[in-house]
Every structure is written in structure tokens, then in C-alpha cells.
Structure 1
Amino acid sequence: MPFTLDNKLVVAISSRALFDFEEENRVFESGEAAAYMALQLERLETAAAAGVALPLVKKLLAFNADGEHRVEVVILSRNDPVSGLRVFHSAGAHGLKLERGVFTQGREPYRYLGPLKANLFLSANTDDVRAALDAGFPAAHVYPDSVRAAEHPDEIRIAFDGDAVLFSDEAERVFQADGLPAFHAHEAALSREPLAAGPFKAFLEALHRLQSAESPMKIRTALVTARSAPAHERAIRTLMDWHIQIDEAMFLGGLEKGPFLAALGPDFFFDDQAGHCRSAALAGPTGQVLVGIANG
């Protein structure tokens, strides 16, 4: 019987999100493809340093430690196949059991997300992230210079912004067009009407399913949003309508998110707005969701 990705949490990740290939990437972006391939070949036996998403991947793979294959992590990269050898070598050096990879040698990789049944795509390439989101997959542009995750070895902590991430950006559009009073009035009037799903609802649902697994590794989720009362009610009622329970919720009313995330210590935080992401990256691993009116 062939292997299947059904009923697994599948994370597709670029090599730059998983490892520190920033020096090599500068050569790649210079347009010198031959020089890039030569550099990777020269360093074939040299393991790359950990990238911003490696601690998250390591923790997710811990859900497979009892022999149950609950999580699949696949390298999905614009690298050439030879450079892919170094990626897999680096994975082994960091104790990551990765078996599958797709290397497109400069072509757009997003078209493979469908066959992979991916629940999440992490990449340092903004074009690839936008293409994945346009195709309907949860995807985020990682900030390679993010502060590394806090140490809590038996728990994965993942935090999400609300509007344009977990939820659609319908309310954010009201705020952008008419200001904060109109936004609050809009959300109060519709407090019992669930918000439409945003791009990361599917990933949150996959995490919610994984939370029920009997595993030493646990998952803790958080909503970290600029909403405040009375707009908080619609967000919570939407999650209730989805039958998803968030472990923590922070309604910050415009306060800077970074200090709160530093206190939480997430393994990853997802937000659509660059300003919030820059603040968050000073506290921990961060990915920007490049959709919605804020990224128009």
C-alpha cells in the first residue's frame, strides 16, 4: 500500500526558512547561478546553521517519536537538486528526520503544495508566499533575522493575529476606510455573526486536531490581536462557531505586540502587517501573511 499524506499535519518549508543560507542566497540573488551551485557544492559536507523555523520543525517532528506518523515536513525549495544534497545533509546533522523534498531549480514551487496536501508553507521568498496564498494555502514569509524561540522543550507555542490571518480582512477594511469608531460600531453590530475564514484557519484546525494526540509534546495556541472591547466579542464567538478553543487571547487595542509575545515565548507568530511583524521578530520567530488590505 503506498504512503499517504492523508490525516497528517503537513508542513512544506523552504531551505532558507529551515537553515541559515543567507550568505548563499546573496550569491543566488546576484544572478550567478553557476557560482551559487559551485558554492553549495563546495560546502556540501558542511552542515548549515539553524534557521528561524528549525526549532518549530524539530518540535513538530517530535509528534512522530512514538512511531505514529502524525506530522510530515517536506523541503519545498527553489534550490537545484545538487544543493538539495546539502539541505538533507544539514537536516541529518541537526537530528531532523526528513525524507521528502522537492527542488525546482529556480521555478515557482507553490504548484506542489496541492499534491503535498500542505497545511502550512514557510518561505523566505515573498513571491512564493504570495503565490501560495493566492492558491489557497496557509503561507507566511519568515523573517530570517527573528530572535530564536524561547526554551520550553515539551510545548509548541504558536500565536496568531486575527484579522487577515485567522479571519478574513473584512473588518480591517472597515477600519482602514472609516477609522476606529466605525470599526467598533461595525463589529458590535455583527458581534454574533461569525467572521469569514482567513488563510490560517486551516492550519489552526490542523493544530487543533494534533492537540488531541497522546504525545509528550503539547501545543499551546494564542490569539494576539490589536482588537479591543467591544470588537473582541466577534473574534471569540467566531472561534466558538468553528469549535476551536484558543488557549490564550490578548486584545491589545493597538499596544505594541512584541513585549507581549516576548512574555509568551512563541515558537512562531503569524501576522499580516509588517509593523507588527518587525516588533514580533524582536521577541521570537515571525512570519508575515502577505494578504489583505494591509498588503494590497
Structure 2
Amino acid sequence: MAAFTLEDKLVVAISSRALFDFEEENEVYETGDLAEYEALQRSRLNVPAKPGVAFPLIGKLLKLNAGGHHVEVVILSRSDPISGLRAFSSCKAHGLAIERGVFTRGRPPFGYLKPLRASLFLSANPDDVRAALDAGFPAARVLPETPQAASQYSDEIRIAFDGDAVLFSDEAERVFQSAGLSAFVGHETTKKDSPLAGGPLKPLLAALHKLQKIAGDAAPMHIRTALVTARSAPAHERAIRTLMAWNIEIDEAMFLGGLDKGAFLREFEPDFFFDDQIGHCESARVVTATGHVLSGISNAS
């Protein structure tokens, strides 16, 4: 039997709390009484957990494997190994084909992202997300209180991204915050032909774009991506030219010039939205599952 490899796959590492609704159990964990937390999980080993914030996204991503093994989902959790039994049994109960997991019993788990070749790490723990981003891995803090909305696009994976400090570096955002809108527009207009450096989630977008090409029209599940940014003309041009320089196509682009993103996300109906600014995340989370990308100048403190 050939050895299993992760080299050619989109690997999503996800905490058990991002995948399932473990908020009640987490309240016990946060008290610092690890023994009580573990006892609670043991008492519920045969009780499937309810779906969590990222559950719908993970379910759709796994459907891409109907045409070949393109996606690998791994549970990466601070839970103890016995509590991990409940996570795996919950996967089985909900029909999620997840076979791999790493459980660290309270220790930071992000170090395992490297051998996992992770394309994305989703966790409700902000410290773990920051550590993953600092180590160069795409990561976001899921907002557990996000309501789950039923999507009318059962055959599409829809993912929306903010631009600056998410897909792109925070170069332009730094200009905006230090010198204001006019300086930002002038900076971006002057540099419209100079591609922005990649941001923390560029590798994820690149991996999704690659999957789009592999899957083709006959695939049972399709991927649709959107750029949802506060930029407007003429600063839009550098963003588009940057994507062109990367040879990455995006399906929709929304240049909102400061308009509230929530209303536009309600129309796009993404399965997940990524933004670096908590204000935009708060607006988005009443519409869709949202990940706070704790990177860039807006999260420096």
C-alpha cells in the first residue's frame, strides 16, 4: 500500500470547537478546571455534538472528494485525546469523512500545522490563530456565536475575502491609517502597476483557485470566490492588477468604498467570510459564518 501524502491536497486544520458547538463545554474549560471539562466530555461521549460555525463549510469542502481525494480535513484541538473520541464520533454521526486528528490536552496545537501542510487553520482560540499566522499559515478566529443560515447554493462552496491584510499585505492599510484617505488613494494610484505583496490568506485563495481548475464543470461541487473590500475606484485597479499578476482569478469583486459589507454578503451568501477588522466581522457575522484574520496593522495591539 502506498504511503498517504498531503502534498497535493487542500488541508484544513480545524479545532473541535470551530467544527462543533462545544460552547457549553468550553465555559467549563475556561474556568481552568481541566478535570471537570474532561469529565463532562466523557459523560457525553455517546451524545453527538451539534454543528458549529464552520460545519457547513467543512461539509461542502469534503464533497469535493467525490471526484478524487482533493481535500483533507484534520481536527487540531487543545482537547484531551479521550475528549477527541467525542469529536470523531460526532463526525461519524453527521456523516463527515474526517479520519485524522491531533489532540494536545491544553497545549498550543499550532506547531502541528507544518507537518500537516495546512492550507487553513480555523479555531475559536485567538492565541492559537495569532501563533499560526505568525508562523506563516493562513488562519482565522471563528466567531462561535455566528448564526447558521441555510444556503440556497447546495452545489457551490462560496467563500468571500476582504482584501488588504487578508489577501494582500497591509501596506496600503498602513498608509490609510497613518495619513488618511487622500494619501491612500494617491499611494495606490501611483503604484497601480506594482503588485501588492501577498497577505496571510493568499495561499488559501491560490489553493481554491487550483481546485477550481482541477474540479471542472462536471464536479458535484463548485467553488465561487469573491473579493469584498472597502476600496473603491481608483484604488480598485491595484487590487485587480495584483490578482492578475498572481494568475489567480476571482469570480466576484465588490468595491464598496466604505459601505457596510453585511448587506452585500447577504446577497452573495458565502459559506464563510474572512476579514481582518473586527467591525466588519461583527457586521458580517449576523449574515454568515465569519473568520477574524488577526493580522496586519489593525490587529497590531
TM bucket (normalised to shorter chain) is: over 0.9
Shift of residue 147, structure 1, vs aligned partner: 2.6
Shift of residue 143, structure 1, vs aligned partner: 0.7
Shift of residue 131, structure 1, vs aligned partner: 0.2
In structure 2, C-alpha distance between the alignment counterparts of 1:139 and 1:6, rounded to whole Å: 19
5+ residue gaps, structure 2: none
Give per-residue Cα distances to partners, 1:169-227, cap 9 Å, x unaligned. 00000000000000000000001100000001100000001112141100000000000
**1:63 maps to what in 2?**
64
In structure 2, C-alpha distance between the alignment counterparts of 1:231 and 1:160, rounded to whole Å: 17
Give per-residue Cα distances to partners, 1:218-240, cap 9 Å, x unaligned. 00000000000110000000000
**1:94 maps to what in 2?**
94
Question: Taking every aligned residue pair, what percent have the same amino acid on both sides?
Answer: 68
Kept in 1: contact 2:166–2:199 (CA 8 A)? yes
**1:103 maps to what in 2?**
103
5+ residue gaps, structure 1: none
In structure 1, C-alpha distance between the alignment counterparts of 2:146 and 2:223, rounded to whole Å: 21
In structure 2, C-alpha distance between the alignment counterparts of 1:32 and 1:235, rounded to whole Å: 48
**1:144 maps to what in 2?**
144
Structure 1 length normalisation: TM-score? 0.99
Shift of residue 145, structure 1, vs aligned partner: 1.4
In structure 2, C-alpha distance between the alignment counterparts of 1:245 and 1:65, rounded to whole Å: 24
**1:268 maps to what in 2?**
272
Shift of residue 151, structure 1, vs aligned partner: 3.1
**1:183 maps to what in 2?**
184
Q: 1:238 aligns with which of 236, 242, 264?
A: 242
- Please show how residues 1-296 of structure 1 align to structure 2 within 5 Å: 1-66=2-67, 68-149=68-149, 150-212=151-213, 213-214=215-216, 215-296=219-300
In structure 1, C-alpha distance between the alignment counterparts of 2:25 and 2:19, rounded to whole Å: 14
Kept in 1: contact 2:139–2:293 (CA 8 A)? yes
Q: Secondary structure at the match of 2:241?
A: helix
- Greater than 6 Å deviation, 4+ residue runs: none
Q: Secondary structure at the match of 2:27?
A: helix
| RMSD value, Cα | 0.7
Shift of residue 2, structure 1, vs aligned partner: 1.0
